[in-house]
Amino acid sequence: MDGKVTKPTIETVLERMTGMEERINQRMDGVEERINQRMDGVEERLGVRLDRIEGVANTTRGEMLDLRADFRELRTQLREHFPALR
């Protein structure tokens, strides 16, 4: 090297850094958008599943209440037919 190599000026370095920052920000924005889209899909599917679980739980609770009522009715009928059970 014979000394004719030029060094970039501070303005050139700052311009390059600014350009790199813009590219990084664009990439990060793209990544963030893709993550948000995935999260929206997950949240939607999760909401649907939770609604279904809640429906099953409500149905099960209703069936349990019906079963308890049937059991009480059966117990009353047994006591009527078998006085010794009182």
Tokens for 80, please give them. Answer: 């009527």
pLDDT, one tens digit for every residue, the chain (86 residues): 456 667 789 999 999 999 999 999 999 999 999 999 999 999 999 999 999 999 999 999 999 999 999 999 999 999 888 877 66
Q: What is the pLDDT of residue 81?
A: 86
Q: What is the pLDDT of residue 46?
A: 97
- Distance between first and last Cα of the chain: 112
Q: What are the extents of the domains in the chain?
A: 46-81
- Say if pTM beats, i.e. exceeds, 0.75: no
User: What's the rounded Cα separation, in Å, for the pair 17 and 24?
Assistant: 10
Q: What is the pLDDT of residue 6?
A: 75
